[in-house]
């Protein structure tokens, strides 16, 4: 064996070890969140399709029930005659054969199953967040916190970010428009969904800045496995924002 092939063998082993060590728990959050996003897309388009299809025979149900999940559950659990009694006694829908309705019920069952799967994933992300990033999930809530981790790439990268970057996460388009053309800068990214920022009225930028500051502290504490301090922060912020 030549020098190079000996060296290569050593490098192969080293890289394989490094790759296996790089798998962390925050990657699970990233994958789970992405799965939730994709499920949302699929659920939306599938339930729209089912609505179009089922409305041939019972348009009143489509009109009365707006929530997709409730709509699919109704179709999958109740029989066609029951639904007809409940929603459209003199319906304008056409008559379909039993075969047609059966396949619609099958689709509705599948969609409700997928809705359950999504709820399961949301719970999974919540428990993961509580374990990996307890401070962030107390201060920001698990869904916003997970969204921040996904956008940063990993909890390590989130911890290395300055507070101003965390404030802008999710507003990249507006930020680069500002840098390129000199348009007005964005004030908040994902943290707009946080109750503090949403309720802030005219001072959204100020609240977003303070919240991002605290969040960046939390991210650093979580990454280096520190104590839980977010309760205290949350109380401070509550008092601060009540006065305004």
Partner 1 sequence: MEEMKKFPNVFEEKKGRNIFYFIRTNDKKSFFEERVISKKGELFREVDPERSKLFASIAKGISQLGIKQDSKVLYLGASHGYTVSFLADVVCNGEIYALDFAPRVVRDLVFLCEDKKNVAPILDDANHPENYKDVVPKVDVVFMDIAQREQTKIFLKNCDMYLKEGGFGILALKARSIDVTRNPKDIFRITRSQLDVVMNVVDYRELAPFEQDHAVFVCKRKSSEPIDFLNIPSIVVDQKKNFLPRKEFSKPSFRKRH
Mark residues 143-182: x for contact with partner 1 by CB under 8 A, - for none: ---------------------------------x--xxxx
Q: Is 41 in the site for partner 1 (CB under 8 A)?
A: no
Eight-state DSSP code of residue 191: G
Please state, in angstroms and rounded to a whole number, the distance separating the CA atoms of residues 121 and 234: 27
The answer to whether 83 touches 58, Cβ cutoff 8 Å, is: yes
Size of the site for partner 1 (CB under 8 A): 19
90 lines the binding site for partner 1 (CB under 8 A): no
CB of 93 to partner 1, least distance (A): 49
Let me know if 184 is exposed, middle or buried by CB neighbors in 10 A (0-12, 13-18, 19+).
Answer: exposed
CB of 37 to partner 1, least distance (A): 19
Nearer to partner 1, 158 or 210 (CB): 158
Q: Which listed residue (1, 22, 95, 224) binds partner 1 by CB under 8 A? A: 22
Q: How far is Cα 115 from Cα 118, in angstroms, rounded to an integer?
A: 5
What token pair was written down for 180?
């390129």
Q: Give the nearer residue to partner 1 in terms of CB position, either 23 or 92.
A: 23
Question: Rounded to whole angstroms, how far apart are CA atoms 174 and 163?
Answer: 18
Q: Is 8 in the site for partner 1 (CB under 8 A)?
A: yes
* Stretch binding partner 1 (CB under 8 A), from 4-12, 63-71, 156-164, 191-199: 4-12
Give me the least distance between CB of 180 and partner 1, in Å please.
Answer: 6
Q: Measuring CA to CA, which residue among 124, 141, 120, 119 is closest to residue 30?
A: 124
6 binds partner 1 (CB under 8 A): no
Answer for which of 7, 42, 198, 199 binds partner 1 (CB under 8 A) is 7
Among residues 19 and 92, whose Cβ is nearest to partner 1? 19
Phi-psi region of 227 (alpha: psi -120 to 50; beta: other; left: phi over 0): beta
- Does the CA dihedral 144-146-147-149 come out positive or negative? positive
Is 92 a binding residue for partner 1 by CB under 8 A? The answer is no
Q: Residue 237 and residue 212: Cα distance in Å, rounded?
A: 12
Applying the rule CB under 8 A, the residues between 103 and 122 that interact with partner 1 are none
Q: Which of 40, 53, 163 is nearest to 100 (CA)?
A: 53
Considering only 1, 18, 173, 227, the residue that binds partner 1 (CB under 8 A) is: 18
Residue ranges in contact with partner 1 by CB under 8 A:
4-5, 7-8, 10-12, 14-16, 18-19, 22-23, 176, 179-182
């Amino acid at each position: 064996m030549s020098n190079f092939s000996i060296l290569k063998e050593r490098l192969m082993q080293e890289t394989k070890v490094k790759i296996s060590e790089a798998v962390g728990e925050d990657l699970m959050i990233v994958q789970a969140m992405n799965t939730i996003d994709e499920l949302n897309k699929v659920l939306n388009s599938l339930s729209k399709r089912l609505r179009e299809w089922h409305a041939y025979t019972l348009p009143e149900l489509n009109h009365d029930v707006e929530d997709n999940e409730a709509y699919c559950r109704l179709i999958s659990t109740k029989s066609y005659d029951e639904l007809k009694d409940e929603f459209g006694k003199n319906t304008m829908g056409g008559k379909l054969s039993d075969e047609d309705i059966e396949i619609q019920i099958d689709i509705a069952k599948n969609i409700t199953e997928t809705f359950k799967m999504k709820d399961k994933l949301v719970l999974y992300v919540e428990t993961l967040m509580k374990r990996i990033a307890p401070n962030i999930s107390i201060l920001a809530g698990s869904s916003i916190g997970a969204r921040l981790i996904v956008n940063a790439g990993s909890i390590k990268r989130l911890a290395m970010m300055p507070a101003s970057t965390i404030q802008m996460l999710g507003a990249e388009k507006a930020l680069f428009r500002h840098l390129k053309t000199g348009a007005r800068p964005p004030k908040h990214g994902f943290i707009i969904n946080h109750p503090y920022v949403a309720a802030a009225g005219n001072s959204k930028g100020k609240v977003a800045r303070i919240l991002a500051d605290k969040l960046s502290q939390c991210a650093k504490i979580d990454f280096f496995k520190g104590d839980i301090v977010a309760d205290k922060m949350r109380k401070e912020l509550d008092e601060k924002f009540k006065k305004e």
